[in-house]
A and B are shown apart, each in its own frame.
Chain A
Amino acid sequence: MAGTIAIKNGYVFDPLNEMNGEIMDIFIKDGKVVRELSAAELKDAKVIDVSGMTVMPGGVDSHSHVAGAKVNAGRSMRPEDHYKANIQKTSLTHSGSGYTVPSVYKQGYDYTAMGYTTVFEAAIPPLEARHTHEEMRATPLLDMGGYLILGNNFFLMRYLHNGDIEKAAAYVAWMMKTHKAYGIKCVNPAGVENWGWGKNIHSLDEANIHFEITPRETIKGLSEINESLGMPIPLHLHANNLGHPGCYGITKDSLKILDGVKPKQNMDVEWAETKMDPSRERSVYLAHMMFNSFAGTTWGDCESGVKDIAEYINNKDHVVIDSGCTPFGEATVMTGDGPAIQDMYKLTGNKWSNTDVEMEGGSGVIPFTYFKSNPVHSLQWAMGLECLLLINDPWKTILTTDSPNGGPFTKYPEVMTWVMSEAFRKQTFSECHKWANDRSELGGINRELSLYDLAVLTRANPARTIGMAHRKGSLGVGADGDVTVYNINPQQLDTNNYEALLQAFRKAEYTVKGGEIVSVQGEIVSLPEKRTYYSEVHVENEREKEMLIDVKEWFRYYTLGFANYPTPEKYLQNPTPIKVNIVR
């Protein structure tokens, strides 16, 4: 029977159910985790024995650039990214190519081979939602969704400037539904708009041109909308001044704005059984913290500011971060933060692209290579790991490379191994520039994360943070039957043998998706359908009508007609709306 399986005798790490390596069997029936299978069901079920191996819920990536216009721009401007990294077609799978920006098929297979089953696109410009959905639909195996870029949106800036939060909320609700998007992403709040005039914004209380709104007002307003609607995910913030020496200050101050905001998740979903409360506990989700944590004033005197932000986060409970680690090597930087891309062009002279997304934001792409011999790149490597190791509570951290900005997601195994193995960190220190050690705290940290912690950072917490813990990130009864089996025996775990860890993380022994084995030792063996999630946010008809009058009036400044704006459901594979802001 498809979707029914028994995974026996593994060491299970399921943090949401407080399972820390207990030997137990996992049963999945028709794609969902069940308490047990009857004798009759077991007869038909696939049974695998994973004695001596590590079992975790399927990996969840809550911040990755995998679909849409900028990803595709990255693909097309980088033929050199493709000619050495390619896969042949098989009777089951498509061919594909690309190292930092793989083709949709290849990225689906590559994530699956590592044990990931759910990936959320980090930035969808509304105008590019159709394109984004087309690529998500074509990405095999992965359950997906994405966040809508709203930090420099004309309509919202106008509403927020006028203090019209209700209309702003109605607009956000309508936009989620219209573009089949999942949450609010805020990139360089108020600053990208200035980039349209060749300027940027460098402090929280600087008002931007025309709209006269400040980053502080934008962050505050979007967060208020987010919580008033009961969105699944906290405000997902890409803070101002990203990638500038000294930017850690504004990052910390941005987080302070939302201190005291109570997270209110209001979703109508069936919750899988978990021991821990699976609802989200944070009101701000800081994206790729490393890139926003530079201290110093120039690239000559810059140093890590991670410690300072980490201390703040350790003392507060409203922040969750993803790390944005830089594992060295090739990357393609892509972001809605147009001016940040121009800064990087000035630094590197590399080919680059920049786009003004009409009334919604900006975007840019530039290839980048992180060298071990480069002092700043080495420091960045250390800072990314500091983000995950200096914040004490694993439930405040998520492991990412902001793929492909810090490096491709296929480098996650390196990052996982660095946080688990001090020996591996020492090895890398010996190979890279001394700034990594001299200008960060990493050298003095002997913390090594456990497999349980790792399951928090790569499954349980990303799922919980973005509001998917009702079906992802745990192996509780009722959860999706997504399971990763790593060939790691926790009883014999030796973090000095980091090569073994790297091998195990690169190719999961088994990846199970919805109860079906989809990959074995990295090889794709089946291709069940995937789902796309989006937030269907309730808004009263009257509110929506009032708001739409404004939208239609201002819509004439767009280059497309209003009727062509929405993304129809047919652009999604198995569209799965999550009802939000329900009236009880």
Chain B
Amino acid sequence: MTEGVLIDKNKSDSKLEAVIKPESFTGKVSGEMAEVTLILKKEIDIKLEADVITPDSFAGKSAQEIGNLSIWQGPKTYPLSEFFEVIGNGGSSAAETLIRIKGDAMRIKRIGESMSAGKIEIEGSAGMHLGTGMKGGEIVVSGDADSWAGMEMIGGLLHIKGNAGDHVGCAYRGKWHGMKGGRIVIEGSVRHQLGGGMDGGEILVEGNVESFCGIRQNGGLIFVKGNALRGLGAEMAGGTIVVGGKIERFSPGFEFVSMENSVKFGETEFIGEFKKFTGDYAISKRAKGALYVAVDTNPEL
């Protein structure tokens, strides 16, 4: 999903077309980036809390200094070098630092937490809380991402080429203010509660979502090219959801408004035949959520 590219390679029946023009989600990448490669040395049993793996904390540090950064595993801390071989020095700023992680990082949590700039490339899958609260820069995962990817994200680009777990771009447990800005792109499918409590930004899913996508959404855009199971937009108060595939069980608190030929959200435009609904009136009469459903895949609605 890059500039000007039409999304139509999906297996779903949707004839939907999307034109997505990324604004400057990743911030300025100034020429050359210093590359730090982390090669996983051993299998990880208890999951690592790796919030230290960010361009911000690697910037200005040598490979050895990076290896000495401490990382939590259960109740203990270890130097990063206990688990990774570190090759290369960080750049002089976060924006000039590229981190490449080689190996299966599925048991490594919180990679890129709160990062403000630079780039992380994960050549494999990533553990829970990937890019939580990230403010800028870019994370690319070639495999899957576990639950809570992009939780309460503020800015930047989180690109997951495989599938993702639950609570992508969601709010933390107990509150309903999730992702506020930036963009999450998922080429595969995701599980439940995508964009829960989302306040802003964009989440674009090529595959399917399961239950309660956009629950308690307050703002921002969720686009699902594929199908949605149930509870779509439940309790949403604002924001926009666009679904290209089939909605298994439509939420009862929405009312039909109009037929539309396109949906425009910021610089993103979806072209196709939509039914527009608003809600969720089950939670409030003042709800301002907008739900666009592709007509061809949902003839019964």
Chain A interface residues toward B at CB < 8 A: 77-81, 83, 349, 351
Min CB distance A327 to B, Å, is 20
The interface residues of chain B lying within 8 Å CB-to-CB of A80 are 171-175
Alpha-carbon gap, A81 to B174, bound state (A) = 8
Interface majority SS (helix, strand, loop, mixed), chain B: loop
Alpha-carbon gap, A336 to B283, bound state (A) = 28
Min CB distance B17 to A, Å, is 38
Q: Which residues between 15 and 48 of chain B lie within 8 Å of chain A, taking CB atoms?
A: none
15 contacts between A and B (CB under 8 A): A77-B174, A78-B174, A79-B172, A79-B173, A79-B174, A80-B171, A80-B172, A80-B173, A80-B174, A80-B175, A81-B174, A83-B172, A349-B283, A349-B284, A351-B174
Min CB distance A83 to B, Å, is 6
Inter-chain pairs besides A78-B174, A80-B172, A349-B283, 12 sampled, C-beta below 8 Å: A77-B174, A79-B172, A79-B173, A79-B174, A80-B171, A80-B173, A80-B174, A80-B175, A81-B174, A83-B172, A349-B284, A351-B174
Chain B interface residues toward A at CB < 8 A: 171-175, 283-284
Alpha-carbon gap, A81 to B173, bound state (A) = 10
Alpha-carbon gap, A160 to B175, bound state (A) = 44
Interface majority SS (helix, strand, loop, mixed), chain A: loop
Min CB distance B173 to A, Å, is 5
* Closest chain A residue, CB of each to CB of B171: A80
Alpha-carbon gap, A79 to B283, bound state (A) = 23
Min CB distance B174 to A, Å, is 4
* Closest chain B residue, CB of each to CB of A79: B174
Min CB distance A140 to B, Å, is 21
Alpha-carbon gap, A38 to B17, bound state (A) = 89
Min CB distance B154 to A, Å, is 14
Min CB distance B113 to A, Å, is 12
* Closest chain A residue, CB of each to CB of B235: A349
The interface residues of chain B lying within 8 Å CB-to-CB of A79 are 172-174
The interface residues of chain B lying within 8 Å CB-to-CB of A83 are 172
The interface residues of chain A lying within 8 Å CB-to-CB of B172 are 79-80, 83
Alpha-carbon gap, A351 to B284, bound state (A) = 14
The interface residues of chain A lying within 8 Å CB-to-CB of B284 are 349
Q: Output the residue of B171, B175, B283, B284 with the most chain A CB within 10 A.
A: B175
The interface residues of chain B lying within 8 Å CB-to-CB of A349 are 283-284
* Closest chain A residue, CB of each to CB of B77: A88
Min CB distance A300 to B, Å, is 16
Min CB distance A351 to B, Å, is 8
Alpha-carbon gap, A349 to B197, bound state (A) = 14
Min CB distance A456 to B, Å, is 39
The interface residues of chain A lying within 8 Å CB-to-CB of B283 are 349
The interface residues of chain A lying within 8 Å CB-to-CB of B175 are 80
Alpha-carbon gap, A351 to B174, bound state (A) = 9
* Closest chain B residue, CB of each to CB of A78: B174
Min CB distance B152 to A, Å, is 10
The interface residues of chain A lying within 8 Å CB-to-CB of B173 are 79-80
Min CB distance B129 to A, Å, is 11
Min CB distance A98 to B, Å, is 12
Min CB distance A59 to B, Å, is 31
Alpha-carbon gap, A349 to B171, bound state (A) = 17
Alpha-carbon gap, A223 to B247, bound state (A) = 64
Q: Output the residue of A77, A80, A81 with the most chain B CB within 10 A.
A: A80
Min CB distance B55 to A, Å, is 21
Alpha-carbon gap, A79 to B284, bound state (A) = 25
The interface residues of chain B lying within 8 Å CB-to-CB of A351 are 174
Min CB distance A348 to B, Å, is 11
Alpha-carbon gap, A78 to B171, bound state (A) = 13
The interface residues of chain B lying within 8 Å CB-to-CB of A81 are 174
The interface residues of chain A lying within 8 Å CB-to-CB of B174 are 77-81, 351
* Closest chain A residue, CB of each to CB of B173: A79
Min CB distance B147 to A, Å, is 15
* Closest chain B residue, CB of each to CB of A351: B174
Min CB distance A94 to B, Å, is 14
Alpha-carbon gap, A81 to B172, bound state (A) = 10
Alpha-carbon gap, A78 to B172, bound state (A) = 10
* Closest chain B residue, CB of each to CB of A83: B172
* Closest chain B residue, CB of each to CB of A82: B174
Alpha-carbon gap, A183 to B134, bound state (A) = 50
Alpha-carbon gap, A556 to B284, bound state (A) = 43
* Closest chain B residue, CB of each to CB of A81: B174
Min CB distance B135 to A, Å, is 15
What are the nearest 3 A-B pairs in CB distance?
Answer: A80-B174, A80-B175, A79-B174
Alpha-carbon gap, A81 to B283, bound state (A) = 24
Alpha-carbon gap, A349 to B283, bound state (A) = 9
* Closest chain B residue, CB of each to CB of A350: B176
Alpha-carbon gap, A80 to B172, bound state (A) = 6
Alpha-carbon gap, A88 to B160, bound state (A) = 33
Alpha-carbon gap, A349 to B286, bound state (A) = 12
Min CB distance B218 to A, Å, is 12
* Closest chain A residue, CB of each to CB of B284: A349
The interface residues of chain B lying within 8 Å CB-to-CB of A78 are 174
Min CB distance B227 to A, Å, is 30
Alpha-carbon gap, A83 to B174, bound state (A) = 10
Alpha-carbon gap, A80 to B174, bound state (A) = 5
Alpha-carbon gap, A380 to B19, bound state (A) = 47
Min CB distance B199 to A, Å, is 14
